[in-house]
Amino acid sequence: MIELKDVTKKYENFKAVDNLSLHVNNGELLVILGPSGCGKSTTLRLMNKMTERTSGSIKIKDKDIDSFKEEDLRKGIGYVIQSIGLFPHMNVWKNIATVPQLLGWEKERIDKRVHELLLLVGLEPDKHQKKKPSQLSGGEAQRVGVARALASDPDIILMDEPFGAVDPINRLRLQKEFRQIQRRLQKTVVFVTHDIDEAILLGDRICIMNHGKVVSVDTPENVVLNSSDEFVDSFFKGEGILTILSRKDVEDYKEDIPSDGIELSKSATLKEALAHMLLTGEDRVSVEGGSISFNRILQVVGRDINEKD
Ligand SMILES: Nc1ncnc2c1ncn2[C@@H]1O[C@H](COP(=O)(O)OP(=O)(O)OP(=O)(O)O)[C@@H](O)[C@H]1O
Ligand SMILES: [Mg+2]
């Protein structure tokens, strides 16, 4: 779907992106993770020509990006920029409606779309759609930015730290919602973050960058549990395993063994089950239709460790 080959971006003699090759599969959510200044935003901007590469080639849907008209390229790719980038003179409605209007949608269809997107990102349409960006909080503005990128229902979405300014509760809700939408709609998403938990929770694969280069691209499980790279390991500091547990639903691992006590909800994750065991000192917790034990959780992680062999 998106293919970067030997791509370099130089600013004078400094290589912000250094001979980088990367393939993003159709329908996958690829997270780019790495320290500040390693070239994440630049890599993203090269994909929709907000920044011109110095050398190398980039293809989208098997076509060289130079063969698209720039405006067609941008209309076809949703983009959430790191600094939010709402148009300051337009209200929230107009900001979200920009691309649908360019595409010639009817007013009624745009109204409906703006309304559903505002609800999706947790903003009340009546309260917010007439506001200018200067009348929004940072987190609200960021959510409008996400709604704007989704507005015309593009196949490809580039997101640069889209939830960076959102408070932790709304952030987790947005992350979960976004993951579900993505699974359902199978968009091709490139998602930049420095938040390790966010990367593990959302990514089908994680691309770790350092100094303008790709260090590793793999599934969250493999990156966290099976990496032999020192830089990658130093990034996760052994804590990624807890987030791996938060990607897995108890429902998929429960055993057919009845158990007393508090029952976890059907949508609970293995991380919640483990937290419950640590709080209560019990080594088994009941779930609708069965239960899950501490050993079972160890096994699940162990199976991931062994998957490589
Ligand atoms: N227009 C520019 N001129 C000169 N240097 C630039 C320019 N834009 C980016 N850089 C440099 O390129 C490097 C990569 O920048 P980039 O914005 O891609 O980093 P990043 O990984 O997104 O960082 P962060 O996590 O802080 O957002 C940085 O060292 C930055 O200073
Ligand atoms: Mg950046």
CATH of the domain at 252: 3.90.1280
- Reported as a pLDDT band with limits 50, 70 and 90, residue 289 is confident
Hey, which residues does 213 pair with through a beta bridge? 210
Q: What is the mean pLDDT of the chain?
A: 89
Q: Which residue has the tokens 């992680």?
A: 301
Domain holding 274, by residue range, is 248-306
Q: Quick check: 305 pLDDT over 60?
A: no
- Give the distance (Å) from ligand 1 centre to CA of residue 46: 12
Alpha helices in the chain (DSSP H): 40-47, 70-75, 92-102, 107-120, 125-128, 138-150, 168-185, 196-202, 220-225, 230-236, 240-246, 270-280, 294-306
Residues recorded for the chain: 309
Q: 27-37, pLDDT tens digit by residue? A: 999 999 999 99
pLDDT at 91: 95
Ligand at shortest distance from the CA of 40: 1
243 part of a folded domain: no
Q: Quick check: 38 pLDDT over 80?
A: yes
Co-location of 43 and 122 in the same domain = yes
Q: Is the CB of 203 under 6 A from ligand 1?
A: no
Indicate which residue's Cα is closest to atom 31 of ligand 1. 37
140 part of a folded domain: yes
Co-location of 204 and 271 in the same domain = no
Final residue of a domain: which of 238, 261, 276?
Answer: 238
Domain count, the chain: 2
- The pTM for the full model equals 0.85
Q: Which atom of ligand 1 is nearest to the CA of 44?
A: 18
Pocket test for ligand 1, best of 41, 43, 214 (most atoms within 8 A of CB): 41
Final residue of a domain: which of 215, 238, 261?
Answer: 238
